[in-house]
Structure 1
Amino acid sequence: MTMNPAKECIDTRRRQLCGTAGIALAASGLGLLGAPGGAQTPVAQPVTAAAGGYPPLERINAGLLEVAYADLGPAKGPPVILLHGWPYDIYSFVEVAPILAAGGHRVIIPYLRGYGATRFLAAETFRNGQPAALAEDAIALMDALHIERAVLAGFDWGARTADIVAALWPGRVTGLVSVSGYLIGSQAAGKMPLPPEAELQWWYQFYFATERGRLGYEKNRHDFAKLIWKLASPKWQFDDATFDRSAAAFENPDHVAIVVHNYRWRLGLADGERRYDAVEQRLATAPAITVPTITMEGDANGAPHPPPSAYAAKFTGKYEHRTISGGIGHNLPQEAPREFATAVIDVARMAI
């Protein structure tokens, strides 16, 4: 029986990838191997299944962190930085990254602070989860890698981080792909009550506000995160191997501290650091995002998210929104990798 090579390379249940041949086929099916004007772009280096879909991780000192990251594609290709959220990790992009790399992009996928092999450089550094800190981590990583400008793309915490960088440092951002749109907020906004049904969706935020919640997450983080996956993506039939691969990232020694501080800070129950005050003051004004942007939403996102009509006006440059159908939930890059990769390619072209 003749097999489809691209299908043979990607097991959609287990999210495992083969090498360059299948990646190139997948990319060519999307029309991603040709650059604008028909010019050919370099083909990515092989991505081995033995590495779980990524080559061995790189590490670099960047700001307060030693950042662990995957690096795919040609070193001089136009850079794309993919940012994950909570409770997820770099494997949300395990099928997105090879498609982009095969299309000629250099693709950087870092573990955020508190996840995976990323570590703080100093034991005494405050384990701060406030959004401004994560945004400055992204800038520090770009500086360390000598990347002046990049497409930023992410979801959940990653989308918020990308939104902040695009709003405050637009000169560093070629284009933006943001799942669930404009996610910039402030402590003042976080204190405003929502309708009861919306408040119910934030149950874990209130849980983390208590010492019981911190202890509970510390003790049960594997099952807690798995529950969030199911609630946030109610139609995604992921298997145990797919979840467990990502759950390993939550064993980072700083994970619980970062997650709990993030949600307590949002409610005004924990202080941030004065070093980020100027950034937070700018974010509290809800600044517009001027860079080329594509926002995305899954049609079955079970996590709290605003409707596209609520944020469209915040994007004042070239802008497009895409709703992805087919039961796609909160972890859109992993649930709809081709659509996410296509959005990244398209927003890069919008910037030309």
Structure 2
Amino acid sequence: MQTVRTPDDRFADLVGYPFAPNYAQVQADETDRGTMRVHYLDEGPADAAPVLLMHGEPTWSYLYRHMIPVLVAAGHRVIAPDLVGFGRSDKPTEQGDHTYARHVGWMSELLFGHLGLRHITFFGQDWGGLIGLRLVAARPDRFTRVVVGNTGLPTGHGKPTEAFLAWQEFSQTTEEFPVGFIINSGCTTDLSSEVVAAYDAPFPDDTFTAGARALPALVPTSLDDPASADNIAAWEVLTAFDRPFLTAFSDGDPITGGGEAPFQAKVAGAQGQPHTTVEGGGHFLQEDRGPRLAQVINDFIAATP
């Protein structure tokens, strides 16, 4: 597996991102030959129960810069990894090297193996949910509560939204993959040029974008998809998951609009919870309404000790 590593100087003096980097090595592939460097943020008191924040496509931990201070101020330890292929993590250069199962495995090795996290409060959005909810299903004993926003766990049943199908086609056919522009287009706020540049920072050229291009095509859209059976099995676990489970979707996302309904209807721990609509947020609600979303998580933790 060939990988590239974004030069450190690309991350110097990014606006609103003063956090120190942390790194771990994970196994690159199933052959057990070679490792990759994975980046994560680790903020707040080391002895506090962790709040795990997982980003999606095509963002990185920069997405959580508005939320981390609010969560840390409430006394929480915050872990925010960069998925393999994103942020300061190493980037396999071939789209075929990115599979759903591998991304789950890479994050499992980081979070459970290297960091040994327990008593986790999880929040995931977009692919952060697709990967993170598989981790919840694999190790439910490690999670105390779950919050999800603008995400899902698709199995291939049903038809995807037209907005998602258009995004999927764009990701596979566009000559250039303008990450910062894409993220700005998924926000209700107009991002400054400095913020757009920060989202572009991990991707100096198209050599670095294989993961960002690959993930949309890895979302199961039929029962023949390689990940369909694994996601169906994960849903069976999540249906019985009886620890507190909260949805916090925004009101302005055409891709995942209505996606909270299956969680609210099926997950045992979602029954009777104060599910929240984050008003004024687009697909990237962490960017549009980060402090508000962080306070929702703080309040949920306080109410479900």
Q: TM-score if structure 1 supplies the norm length?
A: 0.69
Q: Does 1:166 align with 2:117?
A: no
Determine which of 140, 147, 169 is the counterpart of 2:109: 140
CA contact (8 A) 1:165 1:173 kept: no
Q: Does 1:113 align with 2:64?
A: no
In the TM superposition, 1:5-24 aligns within 5 A as: none
Instruction: Write the deviation string for residues 37-62 of structure 1: whole angstroms up to 9, x where unpaired.
Output: xxxxxxxxxxxx87842322111113
CA contact (8 A) 1:162 1:178 kept: no
In 1, Cα distance between equivalents of 2:23 and 2:209: 22
In the TM superposition, 1:175-194 aligns within 5 A as: 175-180=145-150, 183-186=152-155, 188-189=156-157, 192-193=158-159
Gaps of 5+ in 1: 1-48
Gaps of 5+ in 2: 1-12, 29-35
SS of the residue 1:220 aligns to? coil
Task: Please state how far the C-alpha of 1:258 moved relative to its aligned partner.
Answer: 2.3
Task: Report the counterpart of residue 263 of structure 1 in structure 2.
Answer: 216
| Partner amino acid, structure 1, of 2:130 | R
Task: Please state how far the C-alpha of 1:348 moved relative to its aligned partner.
Answer: 2.5
Task: Please state how far the C-alpha of 1:136 moved relative to its aligned partner.
Answer: 2.9
In 1, Cα distance between equivalents of 2:201 and 2:123: 23
Structure 1 pair 279–271 and aligned structure 2 pair: CA distance change class (3 A)? closer
Q: Does 1:206 align with 2:169?
A: yes
CA RMSD across the alignment:
3.3
**Stretch moving more, 65-74 or 256-265:** 256-265
CA contact (8 A) 2:23 2:39 kept: yes
SS of the residue 2:274 aligns to? strand
Structure 1 pair 296–277 and aligned structure 2 pair: CA distance change class (3 A)? closer
CA contact (8 A) 2:222 2:228 kept: no
Task: Report the counterpart of residue 202 of structure 2 in structure 1.
Answer: 249
In 1, Cα distance between equivalents of 2:149 and 2:207: 26
Task: Please state how far the C-alpha of 1:248 moved relative to its aligned partner.
Answer: 1.2
Task: Report the counterpart of residue 269 of structure 2 in structure 1.
Answer: 317
CA contact (8 A) 1:127 1:254 kept: no
CA contact (8 A) 2:59 2:87 kept: no
Q: How many residues align?
A: 282
In 2, Cα distance between equivalents of 1:84 and 1:94: 12
Q: Does 1:152 align with 2:122?
A: yes
Query: If you compute each CA radius of gyration, which structure gives the higher value, 1 or 2?
Result: 1
Task: Please state how far the C-alpha of 1:70 moved relative to its aligned partner.
Answer: 1.6
Task: Please state how far the C-alpha of 1:97 moved relative to its aligned partner.
Answer: 0.5
Instruction: Write the deviation string for residues 329-350 of structure 1: whole angstroms up to 9, x where unpaired.
Output: 1111221122211222233334
| Partner amino acid, structure 1, of 2:167 | Y
Task: Please state how far the C-alpha of 1:138 moved relative to its aligned partner.
Answer: 2.7
| Partner amino acid, structure 1, of 2:86 | Y
In 1, Cα distance between equivalents of 2:205 and 2:292: 30
Task: Please state how far the C-alpha of 1:134 moved relative to its aligned partner.
Answer: 2.7
Determine which of 21, 24, 29 is the counterpart of 1:60: 24
